[in-house]
Amino acid sequence: MGATGTLKAVLFDRDGTLVVDVPYNGEPQLVQPMEGALEALQKVRRAGLATGVVSNQSGIARGLLSLDQVMAVNHRVEQLLGMFEVWKICPHGPEDGCDCRKPAPGMILDACSALGIEPSEAAYIGDIGSDMEAAGAAGALAVLVPTHVTRPEEIEAAGIVADDLGHAVDILLSMASETRATEDAPV
């Protein structure tokens, strides 16, 4: 894992990673989990790891969505996929220059702070390059799960690429277990 060697949380991008991406979705009834998302989350939770969602929501800044609509969609995500310990959204547009909008690390840093962990104790799973950049800038482990919108250069640049969400979780849990075995080995 990171400098501390222990994975304590897995953070997820929302659209295109946990749920099917419906651009600027403000309608909870349109929320549809990605295939295998519930099972992947159940594995993470059974392993005793915290879960969180970190999501750019520029539709708010663009006047296409209200914060209430985003919150209603997030609530629907939890109804379908279970509760998350932390949610962080960026309501800003790309031109706003905030430090929370991915690829900036702000939301991941805030999520880790809210969970009481170091970024090196977290992993972030997303579907595009800005997700990987944000995780890297924060000091968290990054796993890319490509979709039809992921550009080839984003896949090439990613350190860890998984076939799907379940595979991403398996990779992280395997790495965490190897790290624990190494730490527990007699010297």
The H or E element that residue 110 is part of is helix 106-115
Q: Which residues are annotated as a binding site for Zn(2+)?
A: 90, 92, 98, 100
Domain count, the chain: 1
Instruction: Say what the pLDDT of residue 161 is.
Output: 98
Give, in degrees to the nearest 5, the angle at Cα 12 between 135 and 22. Answer: 115
Task: CATH number of the domain at 22, please.
Answer: 3.40.50.1000
State the catalytic residue, choosing from 13, 68, 110, 164: 13
3-state secondary structure of 170: helix
CB 72, CB 88: distance < 8 Å: no
184 is catalytic: no
pTM for the complete prediction? 0.93
Residue 70 resides in a domain? yes
Active-site pick, 15, 68, 99, 170? 15
pLDDT in tens, 30-48: 999 999 999 999 999 999 9
Does 153 map to a domain? Answer: no
Q: What are the tens digits of pLDDT across the range 77-94?
A: 999 999 999 999 999 999
Active site residue 15: yes
- Provide the domain limits for residue 110: 9-121+164-184
Residues in Cβ contact with 50 at an 8 Å cutoff, skipping those fewer than 6 apart: 8, 9, 10, 85, 86, 115, 117
Q: Is residue 128 part of a domain?
A: no
Annotated binding-site members for Mg(2+): 13, 15, 127
Binding site, residues? 13, 15, 90, 92, 98, 100, 127
Give me the residues of the chain with pLDDT under 50, please.
Answer: 1-4
